[in-house]
């Protein structure tokens, strides 16, 4: 599968919070804290600690695969170069870390404890990342594969995998 440079670019736009041309552990921690703050969850609670652990584990897995110069930073070009290996199974730890992150996010954003992410919960989550409501609604509609009106854990994991692995499909919509 070809590497979608737009997906890699979108990934950096979302996670490079200080717009310095690379992502680092700091960026992943900021994303975790942004969600915790939005959902009034402390890193000292089980859900908050799990979210922070999952973001940290994802960073470590990504850095192991992509940080070729071992400087603690991953540039867009390093990520693009690593995607092929990550997709081919050399990144099974990375894929597992992505799934763990999706599960941890589900634990935070599923505010009614239904076991799924409803449309409003999804829109709220994306709002914390600056995604406008119309884009969030379109993303939700595309990601809700079974048309149930909610994202199951499997649908959320698939969306996270597509996003973090730079899917070549045009519906990489996790973040609008």
pTM score, whole prediction: 0.86
What's the domain range around 40? 5-164
pLDDT at 36: 94
Q: Report pLDDT digits (tens) over 46-92.
A: 999 999 999 999 999 889 988 999 999 998 888 878 877 777 765 57
Phi-psi region of 145 (alpha: psi -120 to 50; beta: other; left: phi over 0): alpha
Q: Report pLDDT digits (tens) over 2-38.
A: 555 666 666 677 778 788 889 999 999 998 998 999 9
Q: Evaluate whether residue 172 is within a structural domain.
A: no
Q: What is the CATH number of the domain that holds 31?
A: 1.10.238.10
pLDDT at 79: 81
Angle (CA) 41-38-121 rounded to 5° is: 100
Q: Evaluate whether residue 19 is within a structural domain.
A: yes
Q: Report pLDDT digits (tens) over 146-162.
A: 899 999 999 999 888 88
The count of domains in the chain is 1
Asked whether the predicted pLDDT for residue 173 surpasses 90, the reply is no
pLDDT at 3: 54
């Amino acid at each position: 599968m070809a590497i979608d440079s737009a997906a890699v670019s979108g990934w950096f736009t979302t996670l490079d919070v200080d717009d310095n041309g690379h992502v680092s552990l700091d960026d992943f921690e900021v994303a975790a804290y942004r969600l915790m703050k939005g959902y009034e969850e402390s890193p000292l609670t089980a859900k908050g600690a799990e979210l922070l652990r999952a973001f940290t584990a994802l960073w470590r897995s990504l850095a192991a695969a992509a940080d070729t110069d071992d400087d603690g930073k991953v540039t867009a070009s390093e990520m693009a170069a690593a995607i092929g290996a990550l997709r081919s199974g050399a990144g099974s730890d990375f894929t597992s870390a992505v799934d763990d992150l999706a599960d941890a996010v589900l634990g935070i954003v599923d505010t009614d404890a239904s076991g799924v992410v409803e449309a409003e919960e999804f829109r709220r989550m994306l709002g914390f990342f600056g995604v406008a409501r119309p884009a969030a609604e379109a993303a939700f509609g595309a990601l809700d594969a079974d048309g149930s009106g909610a994202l199951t854990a499997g649908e959320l994991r698939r969306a996270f995998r597509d996003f973090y692995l730079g899917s070549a499909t045009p519906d990489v919509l996790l973040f609008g």
